[in-house]
């Protein structure tokens, strides 16, 4: 089950303060990472844990009345997206498992390629209640602890992860009694951040989760490292090691929030850089086109650079329905319908114009085809589309919503001219993989979906 989710964890120093508001604000800030379900586990100093999760957005699941039900100074939380059984409430997180007389709670972002092998072995003695990789991780940890008579600690959890899940992509947060443990896999596929404020310690998938906090210290957790939190202290520790990093470049292209900092790069600046690359490759359009039009919100950063390099007006002629979510992470049966509702075109800005349409990526091509058709209906004379990433032609094992190459329009039409014709474009251009690789340190990023 491929997932692209968001995790959060935190501890407030004052036992009498309630962490629920910070938890909900942080989960709302990383809502773009998962829109199908969400959940929290709130605890008072390791006691009186309260777990609640449901399908839907954070703002709907944790409304004013629901928030009043929670009271505690410790929390872990999750926003979830998955393509398989994505709307099933039982797959929502956090998950929990009993260990001795207490419970271990877990939230997870990532994907474990060898999960079925581990699950089949565990199924001989364990019962599974969800279809998630996360439950396999949780049950395997407890199985190893019981078999080897181990207690729950950062070191012991880290040993299980490095031994049995060493091929996987994961960022994990655990809540156990009065401690929180967080881990980032040794390849660093997914991002994980830690921050300290005047009132607590916090961990999240992206630093945008801390935007409303008064931050004293902020640290991006390195691959193979994690952090242990309690009421009085935090400690960043190493638990695994790899000679090779495989950070997902799609975090920079699409997944992460525009205001986040991921893998030591600012997302806004990276996406502008991608736009500069694709603009310079298409400098001939400078004298052929009238305006640059971004696909909002995904194409804005790149379009800023395209407009600057080509010295053409940046025209926000495509408006987004604020109530619509990201259609890339919608399940298939909703995607086509929601794309039709997602955008509104300002016809007076398009009529009789030759436009450069800019977006950050092209996956299935559904959004592009719909937009192109509507732009022509609005009176566009020519549409030249620039995609600020390479052609997406391969499936991903580590958490991107690509189960079958047949879903990828660039895989079907490997010739750009044929793909352009299919979409009804005047011309179409992608960034060359060689060019995008050149702006990153050698052998530190995963580009497999472009190969």
Name the residues annotated as catalytic. Answer: 5
Distance of CA 208 to CAs 111, 218, 274, Å? 23, 11, 21
Beta strands in 33-123 (DSSP E): 37-44, 47-55, 74-80, 95-99, 102-111
Query: Which 3 state secondary structure label does DSSP give 240?
Result: coil
| CA dihedral for 60, 64, 69, 74, sign (positive or negative) | positive
Structural contact between residues 46 and 34, judged by C-beta atoms closer than 8 angstroms: no
The closest of 172, 363, 168 to 253, measured between CA atoms, is 363
Place of tokens 């602890």: 145
The closest of 362, 353, 332 to 430, measured between CA atoms, is 362
Partners of residue 266 on adjacent β-strands: 261
CA distance 106 to 176: 9
Omega within 30 of 0 (cis) for the link into 201: no
Beta strands in 303-353 (DSSP E): 318-320, 343-345
Structure tokens at 149: 């008579």
CA distance 222 to 218: 13
CA distance 155 to 303: 46
Distance of CA 15 to CAs 26, 181, 199, 203, 229, Å? 20, 19, 11, 18, 15
Burial of residue 127 (CB within 10 Å: 0-12, 13-18, 19+) is: exposed
The closest of 370, 347, 349, 346 to 359, measured between CA atoms, is 370
């Amino acid at each position: 089950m491929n997932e692209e989710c968001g995790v959060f964890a935190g501890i407030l120093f004052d036992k009498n303060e309630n962490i629920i508001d910070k938890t909900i604000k942080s989960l709302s800030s990383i809502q773009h990472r998962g829109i199908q379900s969400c959940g929290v586990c709130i605890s008072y100093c390791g006691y009186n844990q309260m777990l609640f999760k449901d399908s839907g957005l954070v703002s709907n699941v944790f409304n004013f009345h629901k928030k009043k039900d929670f009271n505690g100074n410790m929390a872990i939380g999750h926003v979830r997206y998955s393509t398989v059984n994505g709307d099933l409430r039982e797959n929502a997180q956090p998950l929990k498992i009993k260990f001795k007389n207490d419970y271990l709670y877990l939230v997870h972002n990532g994907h474990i390629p060898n999960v079925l092998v581990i699950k089949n072995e565990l199924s001989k003695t364990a019962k599974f209640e969800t279809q998630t990789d996360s439950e396999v991780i949780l049950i395997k940890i407890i199985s190893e602890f019981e078999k080897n008579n181990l207690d729950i600690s950062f070191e012991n959890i880290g040993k299980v992860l490095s031994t049995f899940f060493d091929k996987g992509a994961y960022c994990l947060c655990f809540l156990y009694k009065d401690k929180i443990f967080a881990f980032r896999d040794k390849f660093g596929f997914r991002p994980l951040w830690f921050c300290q404020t005047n009132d607590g310690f916090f961990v999240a998938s992206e630093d945008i989760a801390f935007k409303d906090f008064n931050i004293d210290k902020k640290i991006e957790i390195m691959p193979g490292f994690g952090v242990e939190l309690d009421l009085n202290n935090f400690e960043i520790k190493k638990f695994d090691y790899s000679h090779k990093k495989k950070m997902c470049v799609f975090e920079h292209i699409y997944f992460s929030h525009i205001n986040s900092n991921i893998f030591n790069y600012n997302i806004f600046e990276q996406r502008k850089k991608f736009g500069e690359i694709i603009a310079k490759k298409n400098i001939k359009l400078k004298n052929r086109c009238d305006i640059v039009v971004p696909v909002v919100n995904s194409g804005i950063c790149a379009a800023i650079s395209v407009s600057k390099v080509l010295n053409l007006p940046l025209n926000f002629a495509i408006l987004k329905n604020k109530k619509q979510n990201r259609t890339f992470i919608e399940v298939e049966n909703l995607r086509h319908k929601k794309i039709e509702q997602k955008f509104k075109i300002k016809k007076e800005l398009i009529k009789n114009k030759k436009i450069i349409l800019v977006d950050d990526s092209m996956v299935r091509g559904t959004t592009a085809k719909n937009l192109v058709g509507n732009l022509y209906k609005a009176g566009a004379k020519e549409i030249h589309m620039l995609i600020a990433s390479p052609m997406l032609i391969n499936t991903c094992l580590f958490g991107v919503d690509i189960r079958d190459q047949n879903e990828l329009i660039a895989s079907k039409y490997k010739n750009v001219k044929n793909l352009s014709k299919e979409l009804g474009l005047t011309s179409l251009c992608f960034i060359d993989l060689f060019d995008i690789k050149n702006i990153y340190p050698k052998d530190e990023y995963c580009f497999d979906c472009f190969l």
